[in-house]
Amino acid sequence: MALADHSNGELASALDHWRVLLLAAPADPQALQQVAALQVELEKKAQVAYSKGLAALRAGRQKRARQLFETTLAARPLHSEALVQLKKIKSLQMNKSQHDNVSKTKRPAAASKEVVANDRAYRDVDQRLRSHVRRIQAYLVASQLSQADAQYQHALNIRSKDLVAKEQLASLGKKLAGSYYQHARRLMRSDLNKAIEYLQISLRYEPDDAAQSLLQRSRLIRDNLTKIQGGR
């Protein structure tokens, strides 16, 4: 699957597959080599797309710039500069008059090119969401909750039309809530503050009476311990 994705040019997807393999076999030489090589390729792809996006933005081509910045994020999801530029474009578009007259004399060929470009941009965005979903799944398997949480928060901001990926993301949110809750229960006796933190995160994902009750009880225990320690 990873090699097939690489052959098809789906580098981010290929990288995700190799990373999942590494979780199962951290010392696998082929997986290590492929991950390193793909990271270099994706970094180059991200930088090229980002540079072109800046050039398009300077030329006033906001739609093209947005597509390129989204391509940047598909290659490197945590590219902070691309996220900043996308927010700027969104702000500019919101401030633009809602009643701008769109020329009705556009040539069909030009309109067709724009449709193709938009389709490509949507595919990049959809691929980006699917990439986040796979990473969240891998992190959950490895019980790396903080990494899964970070990927989930980024995924929430992706405007994808992939309904399947959106449903998978919603399901993963419930799994994250359950995982944080179970970890909190195990931490009750060893690290009360961490247990409270995990319960708060669990409730952020999904309201739950059991988690809410345990959170209240944990806070009460912590407050009582604080009073006892303060009275010594």
Q: Which residue blocks in 59-191 are alpha helix, DSSP H?
A: 62-75, 80-95, 108-141, 145-156, 163-187
| Of 34 and 19, more confident | 34
Nearest to 52 by CA among 73, 68, 37: 68
Q: List, as own/partner pairs, every contact residues 5-11 make where C-beta atoms lie below 8 angstroms and the sequence separation is at least 24, other chains included.
A: 6/34, 6/38, 10/127, 11/38, 11/41, 11/42, 11/45, 11/75
Containing 58, the helix (H) or strand (E) segment is helix 29-58
Q: What's the mean per-residue pLDDT of the chain?
A: 79
| Rounded distance between C-alpha atoms, residue 89 and residue 83, angstroms | 10
- Residue 84: per-residue pLDDT: 87
| Rounded distance between C-alpha atoms, residue 193 and residue 230, angstroms | 17
Question: What does the block give as tokens for 209?
Answer: 């009476």
* Mean local confidence (pLDDT), 197-222: 84
> Per-residue pLDDT tens for 67-87?
898 888 878 877 888 888 888
Structure confidence at residue 47 as a pLDDT band (50, 70, 90): very high
Above 70 in pLDDT, residue 191? yes
Buried b (16+ CB within 10 A) or exposed e, 189-213: eeebeebbebbebbbebeebeebee
* Mean local confidence (pLDDT), 21-44: 83
Sequence ranges of the domains in the chain: 1-93+117-161, 181-232
> Per-residue pLDDT tens for 111-152?
555 555 556 666 788 888 888 888 898 888 888 888 888 889
Class of domain 1-93+117-161: mainly alpha
- Residue 48: per-residue pLDDT: 93
| Of 117 and 94, more confident | 94
- Residue 162: per-residue pLDDT: 83
